[in-house]
Each structure stands twice: as C-alpha cells, then as structure tokens.
Amino acid sequence: MIKTDILIIGAGPTGLFTVFEAGLLKLKCHLIDALPQAGGQCSELYPKKPIYDIPGFPEILAGDLTKNLLEQSKQFEPGFTLGERAETIEKQEDGSFIVTTNKGTKHQAPVVAIAGGLGSFEPRKPLISNIASFEDNGVEYFIKDPEVYRDKRVVISGGGDSALDWSIFLADIASEVTLIHRRNEFRGALDSVEKVQELKSKGKINLITPAEVINVIGHGKVEGVVVAQSQHIEKEFIVETDHFIPLFGLSPKLGPIANWGLEIEKNAIKVNNALDYQTNIPGIFAIGDVNTYPGKLKLILCGFHEATLMCQAAYQIINPGKKFVLKYTTVSGIDGFDGTRKESPKAVVKAIK
C-alpha cells in the first residue's frame, strides 16, 4: 500500500504544480497517471507547441513547461504510479481514501486531488461493431510486449507514427505483418515511411492501401479481418491473422472517475469554487480542466491557482485546528524533503562610520 498526504490523480501541469504547493506546506504527494510519463496533455499531445499565457514566460514549449514543473517539484520527492488508471475509490473509517488502479496498485491518503484534465487517455477504437468481443483475444490497442507477436501473423491499421514504427519493429519478430491504411499516403516521420517502403519491397510488410478493416472474424479469438478497399467499399476480402492492432491515437475520457459518486456537470466535476475546489465528497478535490464552476476557464494558469488554494484546504484536513501562516518563498525560502534548502542570499549590511 502506497501512503501519502495528498493523492493526486493526473500528472499534468496542475497535478505537478500541486506537488510544489503542497511541499511548501510540508505535505507529501503521490501522483497516478494513465500515461506512462508525467506531463499530461502537454507532453502527450503537443510537446512542441508554444504556450504564450504562462505568467513570466513570454513563450514556452509545452514539453519544456512540463520539464520545468517536474524539476520544480523534484525537491518535494513526489511518488509516481504511471501507466495505471485510477479505477476505484473507497472511503475508510478514519476518513482516508484508498484508490486502486486498474493494475491493482493501492494508494491511501486523507486527501485526494483529481487533476485529471480531460480525463485519462484511452485508445481511439475503430468503428467496428464486434470489436469489443475480441479485445484481449487478439485485438490489442497498445503493444506492451512485442514478444507476444513472435512468429504470429499481425495486422496493424493506422497511418501515423505508431502504426509505422510498430510495423517496422514487428517485421523482424512476427511471421507476417500487414499494414492497412485508409490513404495511400502516410503522415509519419519521413525515415519511417521510407523504411516501410523498403520492407514492403523486400516482402517483409504487406501494405494494403487505401483500405479499412471493417470487421473482425473468429471463434473466441481473432482469426482474420475483413478489409474493404476505401474507394470500392463493395470490394471486400479477408486477411487471415492472429492479431489485429488498431493504432489510431488516444482520446481523453473521464473514465472510471465518473462512477465515483461525484457530481458531474458538462462532463466535468462540479466543485465549490467559492471555498476550496472541494467536490460534493468531503476530502476529494478537483482542480484544473477536470472541474467546473460558474465562470470556469480551462487554462493552465487557472489550474495553478486552484491547486494553490486547494492545498491550503488540504492542510486543514490533514492538520485539523493547526494554524497556518502564509509565507512568501522570497522570505522563508524552500525546505525540500530531499534535505535541500533554497533561500535568497542575505543582504550585506555595511555600517557607516
């Protein structure tokens, strides 16, 4: 069981900044994120896009902002459970919460801060009516262990970098790789496109374009896919395969949080913004893009503000009755949990004789 003061769900900018603000109050944080790395949307969707409305940064790349936030939070030694989605929450008799991920990792904390942004990123699934019945029986949306595909027949669909990269990688592992894309052109990195072309010429990748997988066939597990040529939808044929891997990117969904008994409005979690961004369940807060209240603006800087106020309220829950005096870091400096201390240099006072 992982125990902490504030359990943060979501390791995007708001979640990461919460670590810093909580750290100033001597509160430890642990973050859970469905993505395998911290940074949320900023690092997953647009790391190379400049952001212009972060105070003090006339322009900063989303990826660099994430990097800086990680660096800023490091002194407060946050824990991370990455690549796992927060699945269930249970209130304990002592008022704390136990949050369990989809992989069974348990976390306990007196305060839970949902900083889930737009939700957890889930694979965008193709519009194939029977695909759900084959999930984990030959249909996979992520490649976790390439060895699973050794000497197997694999069909990959998609036209982006993931589809190209995995087709190239599996060409040396699988007995047969078929790449199916709706268009003749691929929009991935140039060297990946050229490599696929080369492997096709060598007969190591079967390329079918422009075409789409419109059905999956098999008894209990995938035995083949039905392919339709995009320009002649009536022209269908079957490609026999052991695995079908659709790679169409990720799409954010609120996910299991929606079933936690929280008040939801417009696909976001309702909070008390007049006080502290607490949800309808005492001890559970929602900050950043995942929350809603009258006048809400989904901006990173608003998430930072919400995180700051939320930490003050968390402090009172964790230290009931204890007085907290707001201090400025310019005056009090920062005492990191790692033993470091940062403070402004002392002014040199010179006496006038």
Partner 1 sequence: MEQDINIKITDRDGIIHEVVAPTDMAMNLMEVVRSYELAPEGTIGICGGMAMCASCQCYVLSDHELPEMQDDEDAMLAEAFNVKENSRLGCQIQMTPGMEGLEVQLAPES
Nearer to partner 1, 3 or 253 (CB): 253
Nearer to partner 1, 79 or 123 (CB): 123
- Nearest-approach distance from CB 123 to partner 1, in angstroms: 12
Nearer to partner 1, 72 or 230 (CB): 230
- Peptide bond just before 210 cis, omega within 30 deg: yes
What are the tokens at 30? 């642990």
Q: Are 130 and 219 in contact (CB under 8 A)?
A: no
- Nearest-approach distance from CB 187 to partner 1, in angstroms: 4
Which positions ≥6 away from 256 have C-beta within 8 Å?
85, 86, 87, 88
- Nearest-approach distance from CB 186 to partner 1, in angstroms: 8
- Nearest-approach distance from CB 316 to partner 1, in angstroms: 31
Which positions ≥6 away from 196 have C-beta within 8 Å?
164, 167, 168, 179, 186, 205, 207
- Nearest-approach distance from CB 213 to partner 1, in angstroms: 12
Q: Are 236 and 208 in contact (CB under 8 A)?
A: no
Amino acid code (one letter) for 34: A
- Nearest-approach distance from CB 247 to partner 1, in angstroms: 9
First to last CA, the chain: 64
Nearer to partner 1, 79 or 210 (CB): 210
Nearer to partner 1, 181 or 195 (CB): 181
Nearer to partner 1, 46 or 142 (CB): 46
Nearer to partner 1, 110 or 252 (CB): 252
User: d(Cα 273, Cα 284) in Å, to the nearest integer?
Assistant: 13
- Tell me the DSSP string of 225-293: EEEEETTEEEEEEEEE-SEEEE---EEEE-GGGGGSS--EETTEEE-BTTTT-B-SSTTEEE-GGGEE-
- Nearest-approach distance from CB 200 to partner 1, in angstroms: 18
Which positions ≥6 away from 112 have C-beta within 8 Å?
6, 7, 8, 9, 89, 97, 99, 283, 284, 285
Report the interface residues with partner 1, using CB under 8 A.
Answer: 41, 45-46, 49, 118, 124, 126-127, 158-160, 181-183, 185, 187, 248-249, 251-252, 254, 266-268, 292
